[in-house]
Amino acid sequence: MDTPDIDYRLAFEHAPVGMVLSRNRTMVDCNARLCEMFGAARDALVGQSFRVLYPSVAEFERIGKRMEPILNASGRYADNRMMRRLGGLHGAFAGETFWCHVTGHALNRAAPHEAGIWTFEDLGSRRSVKAELTPREREVAAQVMQGLTSKQIGRALAISHRTVELHRAKLMRKYSANTTAELVQKLLTG
C-alpha cells in the first residue's frame, strides 16, 4: 500500500491538543490549539517562559523541580494541574484558571529541561473551577484526584502528610464535601 507523504508541520499545527516545543522551559514553537486554549496569539507565547501559563511563580518553580527527577528517570512526565489563561482571544478571560492535562517528553534525559515536546489538554469543560484555591491547595487537589493517600501526596509534594491533611480538609470545606470520594467527584465535575 502506497502511503502519501505526511506534512509534519501541518500535523503539528492541526493537532487536537495544544503542543509546544521547548528549550529550558521556554516556548520555542506552539500550535494553534495551544494559542486558543490559553487565549493568546502565537507571537505572544513563542519566546516566553512557561511561567506565564501558571497561576503563580511558586507553582511554576515547584512543578519544575518535581518533574525533573521523573524526566531524568523515564524521559516522560504527565499530570493534571491548574493553568492560567492569558486571555484576549477566543473569549478567554485573562487570569482565568482551568484544569489541564500536561504531558511531556524530554529529548535529553540527562538535562530534562534542555529541550522537550509538551502537550496540553484543556479539561476545563469537564472540571470547572468553582472555589478559589491557594497554589498548594491546587497541587493537593490534583494529587487527590489521582487517588493518592495523604502520605503519598506528602512524598510527591515534599511536605508532611499532616500538612496534606490540613489542605485536604480546607478543600473539603470549600467544596462542601463530606468524604474524599465526594471531594473527588466535585473536583471532577465542578
Instruction: Summarize pLDDT for 48-75 with one digit per residue, the tens.
Output: 999 999 998 988 998 999 899 999 999 9
CA distance 171 to 173: 5
Q: What is the DSSP letter of 63?
A: H
Residues written for the chain? 190
* Nearest one of 115, 109, 50 to 83, comparing CA atoms: 50
What is the model's pTM?
0.71
pLDDT of the residue at 156:
86
| Contact in structure between 126 and 110 (CB atoms under 8 Å) | no
pLDDT of the residue at 135:
81
Task: For 75-116, write each residue's pLDDT tens digit.
Answer: 999 988 889 999 765 555 677 888 899 999 999 999 999 999
